[in-house]
Amino acid sequence: MEIFSTIKETRDCLINLKKEGKTIGFVPTMGALHRGHISLLEQAKKENDISVSSIFVNPTQFNDKKDLEKYPRTIEDDILKLKAAHCDVLFAPGVEEMYPSTLVKEPEIDLGNLGKVMEGKLRPGHFQGVCTVVKKLFDIVLPNKAYFGEKDFQQLAVIKYMVRILNIPVEIIPCPTFREADGLAMSSRNVFLNPDERKNVPLIYKTMMEAKLLNTNKTISELKKWVEEKVNENPFLKLEYFEIVNSETLQLITDTHLPITGCRACIAVKVGTIRLIDNIAL
């Protein structure tokens, strides 16, 4: 695996490979890699000649400084995992390389409703930061296809939208959420759960799956209330939101009679100081 920390080295290497007619599959990450990330890389390898990953803890997408400081950084371990998965190229820049001047204000993208609901509402500026860094990474790596987990469903919708409105020539490939045996969605933040919290968090996925079964005989507000009570009666969990949204526009669905199909149920739960998100198709 080639490892680069500068934009120039990365671009030179990848432009040469593209000139040879090779296709590039890209998996952008913030490191602290788990099985979910590796599954994205495996898919990228299957569908492209060259697999590229990036590791960059992007400061502009953290609206909370403390969250940025404590985000897990495990670069040595990540490199071993990427090598074991036969990743061809890793781009791991520092903050200076990606943001050489703090004086320049990055251009904002009008995300409309996509940036206003759920995570967009609770984490102001988060998706602008994601768009800024993903656009920069696409400009550097020039991927044919880029792979994103459905676990961050709103991020996936935002990136698909950005690529469409900015005419970026990359195909966005959504990949299914990877789960632990007890249903917990894999996330780099799971390492922060203490043993008691870890024992209780599978209730998040379990509740959503049960809500899916109740989709037949309740109104949406009854279903939302049911989920809220179910989550909040566990002393380790506090519901931030449970929403049913249109899978493309993420428009909140509030006034339709159940059952509904072709939508997404999305949840955010506070577990101590940690926030976990998850979603399922309805």
Q: Which residues are catalytic?
A: 37
Is residue 61 a contact residue for ligand PAF (CB under 6 A)?
yes
Site string for ligand PAF, 4-43 (x = CB under 6 A): ------------------------xxx-------------
Distance CA 31, CA 53 (A): 10
Spatial distance between the Cα atoms of 50 and 135, rounded to a whole number of angstroms = 20
* Per CB under 6 A, 92 contacts ligand PAF: no
Q: Which is nearer to ligand PAF, 29 or 207 (CB)?
A: 29
Of residues 130 and 142, the one with the C-beta less far from ligand PAF = 130
DSSP 105-161: PPPP---GGGGTSHHHHHSTTHHHHHHHHHHHHHHHH--SEEEEETTSHHHHHHHHH
User: At closest approach, how far in Å is the CB of 115 from ligand PAF?
Assistant: 14
Phi, psi at 114, each rounded to 5°: -60, -30
Sketch the per residue contact string, 168 through 207, with ligand PAF: x for CB under 6 A, - otherwise. ----------------------------------------
Spatial CA neighbour of 239 closest among 127, 133, 118, 135: 118
CA dihedral for 125, 189, 47, 53, sign (positive or negative): positive
Q: Give the bridge partners for 149, in sequence order.
A: 175
The reply on whether position 130 binds ligand PAF by CB under 6 A is yes
CB of 68 to ligand PAF, least distance (A): 12
Q: Is 79 in the site for ligand PAF (CB under 6 A)?
A: no
For the CB of residue 99, give the shortest distance to ligand PAF in the complex, in Å: 13
Query: Smallest distance, Å, CB 123 to ligand PAF?
Result: 11
DSSP for residue 24? E
DSSP state of 179: B
CB closer to ligand PAF, 220 vs 250: 250
Determine which residue in the list 7, 33, 117, 134 makes contact with ligand PAF, applying CB under 6 A.
134
If binding means CB under 6 A, how many residues of this protein chain bind ligand PAF?
A: 10
Cβ distance to ligand PAF smaller for residue 134 or 203: 134
Closest approach of Cβ 228 to ligand PAF, in Å?
27
Q: Say if residues 272 and 196 touch (Cβ distance below 8 Å).
A: no
Tokens of 196: 């008691």
Q: Cβ–Cβ contacts within 10 Å for residue 208, how many?
A: 21
Give the interface with ligand PAF as residue ranges (CB under 6 A).
28-30, 58, 61, 130, 133-134, 152, 155
